[in-house]
């Protein structure tokens, strides 16, 4: 069965490296029989701020507006704004979501953060009972594909920017895995604005080659929800902790047990 792919794209220029990476994904995946849709956030003038405007009609408590609760009610009642419901429909239909963007201030651009804030509403994308490995989107895959402004060496464990694995944890665990997505290893284009054109071409070719087998890739590893005791503040269960007590590394970047971080935990599958 042909797969459906959604590319959530955030760059202002059609001449950018990000645009080239997006176009390559569209071309290669379409050639494999996939149906590919692009949400070009800047071209759509997508609203980045989460406000009462995201709800049609009256809100439940205007005096103390609580976005998550209000949008959950609006989602249940079919009263979310049209731009949100359109993106939610695209997301529901997709088997794979690729987020294509330039890294700004160690995270996504504001317009893409707004997409996360507004589209991944409570109820639609997650709930107290449906998150992490039991998440609503556990049958979907997602990944980050992005450019950096600094060279790879600067994002190392000894580099001035710190370990890229640590930088990625809030995005890949706190957003994607939280909603249940199987997270594929990120595709990182290191400092394309600071390297020769031929080096940029090499990076794009590597992306095109990866795209050939992207749909069959194994996802990154995260600690399953059932390893935590929900009655004790979602702490790691004693038996799981004991099992890993003698191991050299922690479980993940975030759940490290006070041990050295597992190498490339947020960068490569099976590591």
How does pLDDT run across 57-115, given as a tens digit for each residue?
Answer: 899 988 899 999 999 999 999 999 999 999 999 999 999 999 999 999 999 999 999 99
Give the pLDDT score at 1.
Answer: 60
Closest CA to 27 of 208, 210, 215: 208
pLDDT tens digits along 156-173: 999 999 999 999 999 999
Domain ranges of the chain: 4-218, 221-271
Mean pLDDT of the chain: 96
pLDDT value of position 62: 87
Q: What is the pLDDT of residues 170-186, one digit of tens each?
A: 999 999 999 999 999 99
What's the predicted TM-score (pTM) here?
0.96
The CATH class of the 4-218 domain is: alpha beta
Residue 271 has pLDDT above 70, yes or no: no
To the nearest whole percent, how much of the chain has pLDDT over 90? 95
């Amino acid at each position: 069965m042909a797969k459906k792919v959604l590319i959530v794209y955030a760059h202002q220029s059609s001449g950018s490296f990000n645009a080239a990476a997006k176009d390559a994904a569209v071309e290669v995946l379409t050639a494999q029989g996939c149906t590919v849709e692009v949400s070009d956030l800047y071209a759509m003038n997508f609203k980045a701020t989460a406000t009462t405007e995201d709800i049609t009609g009256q809100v439940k408590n205007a005096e103390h507006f609580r976005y998550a609760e209000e949008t959950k009610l609006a989602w249940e009642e079919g009263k979310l704004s049209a731009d949100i419901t359109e993106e939610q429909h695209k997301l529901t239909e997709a088997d794979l979501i690729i987020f294509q963007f330039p890294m700004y201030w160690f995270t996504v651009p504001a317009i893409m953060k707004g997409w996360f804030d507004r589209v991944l509403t409570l109820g639609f994308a997650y709930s107290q009972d449906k998150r992490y490995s039991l998440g609503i989107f556990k049958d979907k895959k997602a990944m980050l594909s992005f450019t950096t402004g600094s060279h790879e060496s600067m994002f190392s464990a000894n580099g001035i920017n710190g370990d890229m694995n640590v930088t990625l944890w809030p995005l890949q665990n706190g957003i994607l895995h939280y909603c249940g997505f199987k997270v594929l290893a990120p595709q990182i284009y290191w400092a394309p604005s600071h390297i020769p054109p031929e080096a940029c071409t090499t990076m794009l070719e590597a992306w095109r080659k990866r795209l050939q087998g992207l749909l069959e890739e194994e996802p990154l590893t995260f600690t399953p929800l059932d390893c935590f005791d929900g009655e004790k503040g979602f702490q790691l269960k004693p038996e799981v902790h004991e099992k890993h007590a003698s191991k050299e590394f922690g479980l993940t970047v975030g759940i490290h047990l006070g041990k050295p971080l597992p190498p490339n935990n947020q960068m490569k599958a099976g590591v």
